[in-house]
Amino acid sequence: MRHGVTRVAGLVLVLCGTSLLSGCGGGDNTGTVCADAKKAYEQYITQVRGVSAAKPDQWKQPTEQLAGRVDGLSAKADDKTLKKVLKDEAGRLRAAATTVATGDTAQLNGVISATPEKLGKACD
């Protein structure tokens, strides 16, 4: 479990450090929604950094909260592609929250590792 948690935290750091999310723009609210998504992931990092790898059940709530925030951003997005990416991401995060609570980080690793590319494309 410890290796999986460390990997998830590392992947989240990569997401938040990437320029893919900071270069968001468009004629609608895409830039704002993308910036808010980046902030949501940064706050998630802050929450999970303090969670012990020995207590995987404590990863569930922050992951569910992130899913809720991402879903809310989906509802706010004007751009149809961004809306769909965020909605899909929220669903994957919810599913991963269930498995991470049992100590299985594979699904969360998959979601987090795919996020920079998927969200980055939608934000460009």
pTM above 0.95, yes or no: no
Chunked mean pLDDT (size 10), the chain, 124 residues: 53 47 60 96 90 84 96 96 96 95 90 91 91
* Start-to-end CA span in the chain (Å): 35
CA distance 57 to 74: 27
| Extents of the domains making up the chain | 2-123
CA distance 53 to 50: 9
Other C-beta atoms lying within 10 Å of the C-beta of residue 41: 22
Radius of gyration for the chain, computed over Cα atoms and rounded to the nearest angstrom: 14
What is the tens place of the pLDDT at every residue in 43-70?
A: 998 988 888 878 888 889 999 999 999 9
CB neighbours of 71 closer than 8 A, spacing ≥ 6? 86, 87, 90
CA distance 107 to 78: 29
Output the pLDDT for position 45.
86
Output the pLDDT for position 21.
43
Residue pair 100/94 in contact (Cβ under 8 Å)? The answer is no
